[in-house]
């Protein structure tokens, strides 16, 4: 995630999040209400200490259904208390009553006509506690920090929050975008060297660190022996290199297309963040040639080429109806004109890329899209309190889907916020 702040002139409050799961509460805001009847059973689950996919797999095992028949709208972290809905095709509601799941509980059961799919969200509601070892040493009392947080939040509500992708988009090692870049360049050996090698004691631990060190020495058999069993993609590629040490292309071909798409999307996110950094000082300003994002429906339209055209649209941006959009680069992405186009082209050029680079094999290619450069938090709420773990500042807000709470928190805290 970018370290650039829109509110860089206002001091942050420091602190930490996620000391405890209950310090970070997320509840999905559904795109539509369940109708009460239909072939799909809808369940609202509260979970902690488990990922969305772990809960999905637990449901499939407990109910004896196929995992593919279970739908969900978005992924939620394990280190939080989260409420999200799942749909299960063809299941009688009675089968769910009294069902016990590890790290989760069912709090509502209803029905609807269709499966919940990725993106079926109006947004997410967050309630987050920020803690600090010593508020006084950081520049004042909890009350002083609350006042600073209020000033920052007021500005962000008025100006919008830079719609950066958060750090979790780039993986645990923070290099998914670099792997995506190597994929686009088509260098199989460089991909394997970074993906399976490149040991870093600060980021890698235990058997994974040992496996990476063995890989760098081309001891592929020892690397395979140390690589954890649940990391199947890495083990599949290594198994090929054990048999044929120079067959990097074949090893890369064996990597699942879903993972490759994830890495390319991380690259798209990184390039978007870099473009947004260039635009940060004019975040709410419409420029000639912009592709303006309509917040009501997610559509974009091309602003005319003159300054007068941009000034005509500026009142809508000031009213928070529209915003500049940025690139999720791809070979069919709609491009802006004028200065915005030059800005985006410079970001691609800095990485030795052009739109055609995203035209990969069918299962991996990226057509591209647009993304709003800012978002507006709704229902903001700030307060301070003390519990059995000490004093805290509590921040509440609702965000549109695809926006990261960590970006807003980073503006308030001015620290490296690591997880949503």
- For 388-398, what is each residue's pLDDT tens digit? 988 999 999 99
Reported residue count of the chain is 420
Q: Are residues 285 and 368 in the same domain?
A: yes
Q: What is the pLDDT of residue 3?
A: 66
Lowest mean pLDDT among 169-173, 271-275, 277-281, 315-319: 169-173
Percent of the chain with pLDDT over 90: 80
List the structure tokens of 372: 């709003």
pLDDT tens-digit readout, 11-29 = 999 999 988 999 999 999 9
Contact 24, 17 (CB under 8 A): yes
Residue in the structure block whose two tokens are 């509260």: 46
Domain boundary among 349, 373, 397: 373
CA distance 168 to 17: 15
In this structure, are 104 and 182 located in the same domain? no
- Better pLDDT: 143 or 223: 223
- Give pLDDT tens digits for 231-252: 889 999 999 999 999 999 999 9
**CA–centroid distance for 81 within its chain:** 17
* Residue found under tokens 């890369």: 252
Q: How far is CA 273 from the centre of its chain?
A: 12
pLDDT at 420: 45
Q: Is residue 150 part of a domain?
A: no
CATH of the domain at 213: 1.10.1510.30
Determine the average pLDDT of the residues in 292-308.
Answer: 97
Confirm whether 102 is domain-assigned: yes
**In this model, does residue 48 exceed pLDDT 50?**
yes
Q: Are 394 and 384 in contact (CB under 8 A)?
A: yes
Verify whether residue 77 is a known catalytic residue: yes
| CA-angle at 109, arms to 107 and 112, nearest 5° | 140
Name the residue range of residue 225's domain: 170-255
Q: Are residues 251 and 324 in the same domain?
A: no
Q: Among 238, 255, 272, which residue terminates a domain?
A: 255
The confidence band for 270, taking pLDDT boundaries of 50, 70 and 90, is very high
At 56-112, the pLDDT tens digits run: 999 999 999 998 899 999 888 888 999 999 999 999 999 998 898 989 999 999 999
Examine residue 393 and state whether it is found in any structural domain, yes or no. no
Ordered DSSP codes for 330-381: -TT-----HHHHHHHHHHHHHTT--GGGG--STTT----EEEESEE--EEEE
pLDDT at 139: 60
Q: Given pLDDT bands bounded at 50, 70 and 90, which one contains residue 195?
A: very high
CB hemisphere CA count around 65 (13 angstroms): 21
Output the CA torsion 134→136→142→148 (10° steps): -110
What pLDDT does residue 274 have? 97
Average pLDDT, the chain: 92
Q: Enter the DSSP assignment of 297.
A: T
- Reported as a pLDDT band with limits 50, 70 and 90, residue 135 is low
How many other β-carbons are positioned within 10 Å of the β-carbon of residue 120? Answer: 19
406 CB-side CA count, 13 A:
20
Residues 6+ apart with CB under 8 A from 391: 131, 132, 135, 142, 384, 385
Instruction: Name residue 384's beta-bridge partners.
Output: 393
Q: At what angle do helices 338-350 and 257-279 cross, to 10 degrees?
A: 130
> Does residue 152 lie in a domain region?
no
**Token digits of residue 42:** 């809808």
pLDDT band, very low/low/confident/very high, at 137 (cuts 50, 70, 90): low
In a domain, 26, yes or no: no
Q: Nearest to residue 192, comparing CAs of 259, 266, 261, 248?
A: 248
The secondary element (H helix, E strand) that includes residue 105 is strand 104-112
- Dihedral (C-alpha) 320, 324, 328, 334: value to the nearest 10 degrees? 120
Per-residue pLDDT of 319-372, as tens digits, reads 999 999 999 999 999 999 999 999 999 999 999 999 999 998 777 789 999 999
More confident residue, 139 or 35: 35
3 state SS of 66:
coil
User: For residue 313, is it within any domain?
Assistant: yes
* Active-site entry in 23, 69, 77, 134: 77
CATH number where 289 lies: 3.30.2350.20
Residue 115's pLDDT is: 94
The pair of three-digit structure tokens given for residue 193, joined into one six-digit string: 């060297």
**What is the count of structural domains for the chain?**
3
Region class of 250: left (phi > 0), else alpha (psi between -120 and 50), else beta: alpha
38 domain-assigned: yes
Judged against a pLDDT cut of 60, whether residue 52 lies above it is answered with: yes
Q: Are residues 247 and 288 in the same domain?
A: no
Query: Which of 260, 256, 316 is CA-nearest to residue 285?
Result: 316
* DSSP state, residue 289: T
Q: Binning pLDDT at 50, 70 and 90, where does residue 418 land?
A: low
- Show which of 215, 239, 255 is a domain's final residue: 255
| Ordered DSSP codes for 136-175 | TTTTS-HHHHHHHHHHHHHHHHHH-EE-PPPGGGG-TTS-
Tokens of 360: 């990969």
**Cβ neighbours around 311 below 10 Å, total:** 11
pLDDT of residue 92: 92
Is the residue at 100 inside a domain? Answer: yes
């Amino acid at each position: 995630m970018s370290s650039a702040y829109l509110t860089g002139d206002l001091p942050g409050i420091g602190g930490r999040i996620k000391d405890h799961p209950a310090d970070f509460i997320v509840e999905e805001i559904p795109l539509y209400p369940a109708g009460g009847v239909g072939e799909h059973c809808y369940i609202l689950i509260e979970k902690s200490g488990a990922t969305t996919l772990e809960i999905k797999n637990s449901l499939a095992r407990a109910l004896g259904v196929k995992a593919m028949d279970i739908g969900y709208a978005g992924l939620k972290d394990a280190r939080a208390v989260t409420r999200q809905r799942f749909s299960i095709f063809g299941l009688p509601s009675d089968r769910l009553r009294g069902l016990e799941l590890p790290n989760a509980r069912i709090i509502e059961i209803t029905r609807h006509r269709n499966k919940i799919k990725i993106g079926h969200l109006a947004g997410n509601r967050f309630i987050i506690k920020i803690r600090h070892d010593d508020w006084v040493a950081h520049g004042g009392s909890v009350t002083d920090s609350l006042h600073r947080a209020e000033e920052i939040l007021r500005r962000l509500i008025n100006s919008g929050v830079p719609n950066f992708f958060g750090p979790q988009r780039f993986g645990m090692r923070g290099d998914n975008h670099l792997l995506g870049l190597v994929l686009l360049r088509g260098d199989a050996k460089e991909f394997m060297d970074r993906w399976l090698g490149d040991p870093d004691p600060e980021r890698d631990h235990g058997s994974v660190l040992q496996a990476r060190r063995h890989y760098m020495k081309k001891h592929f058999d020892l690397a395979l022996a140390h690589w954890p069993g649940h990391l199947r993609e890495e083990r599949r590629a290594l198994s090929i290199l054990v048999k044929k040490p120079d067959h990097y292309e074949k090893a890369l071909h064996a990597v699942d297309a879903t993972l490759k798409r994830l890495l390319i999307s991380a690259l798209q996110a990184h390039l978007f963040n870099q473009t947004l950094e260039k635009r940060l000082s004019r975040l709410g300003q419409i420029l000639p040639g912009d592709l303006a994002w309509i917040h009501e429906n997610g559509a974009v339209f091309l602003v005319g080429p003159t300054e007068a055209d941009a000034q005509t649209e500026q009142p809508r941006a000031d009213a928070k109806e529209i915003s500049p959009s940025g690139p999720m680069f791809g070979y069919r992405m709609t491009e802006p004109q004028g200065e915005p186009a030059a800005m985006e082209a410079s970001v691609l050029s800095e990485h030795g890329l052009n739109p055609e680079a995203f035209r990969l094999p069918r299962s991996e290619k990226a057509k591209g899209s647009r993304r709003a450069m800012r978002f507006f938090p709704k229902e903001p709420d700030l307060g301070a309190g003390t519990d059995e773990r000490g004093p805290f500042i509590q921040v509440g807000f609702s965000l549109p889907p695809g926006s990261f709470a960590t970006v807003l928190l980073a503006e308030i805290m001015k620290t490296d916020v690591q997880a949503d």
